[in-house]
Amino acid sequence: MARLETLTAAARADLRDALKRRDPVRVAALRSLLGRLDNAAAQPVEAAALPATSVHVAGATAGLGSSEVERRELGDDEVDALLAAEIASRRDEAAQFDAVGRGSDAEVARAQADLLDGLQI
């Protein structure tokens, strides 16, 4: 199983559990990671440009699924870099909160970074 599939499956399973337990810190961290991974796999707009075929809406395509484009394949190194960037972002956020005296927000950001760090395989 590719690194992306393994990480996504683990994050989604953990997210389901966090939602059931109503753990907002965990939910926010996992949703952010999954969003970052999904956004990274999106095709650039110019690569995904489709010809307009609808006469009713300017620039639209007609037909079910006519505007669907395959997602990019992310390599293991790219997935690891995205996870590391998300962790670094949380740690940087914690440092910024500490700098302005918002200790409780810094603790939340650190907890989220630690959670995401635990997802590294």
**Do 62 and 53 form a contact (C-beta atoms < 8 A)?**
yes
Q: What pLDDT, in 10s, does the model give residues 5-49? A: 999 999 999 999 999 999 999 999 999 999 999 999 887 766 555
Residue type, position 23, single letter: D
**pLDDT tens digits for 94-118?**
999 999 999 999 999 999 999 999 9
Short-list 118, 8, 16, CA closest to 74: 8
Calculate mean pLDDT across residues 46-58.
59
Q: Where are the domains of the chain?
A: 3-41+71-117
CATH 1.10.1510 is held by the domain 3-41+71-117: yes
User: In degrees to the nearest 10, what's the CA dihedral of 73, 76, 79, 85?
Assistant: -140
- What pTM does this model have? 0.78
| Res. 92: pLDDT tops 70 | yes
Neighbours of 65 (CB within 10 A): 6
Report the pLDDT value the prediction gives residue 110, as an integer from 0 to 100.
97
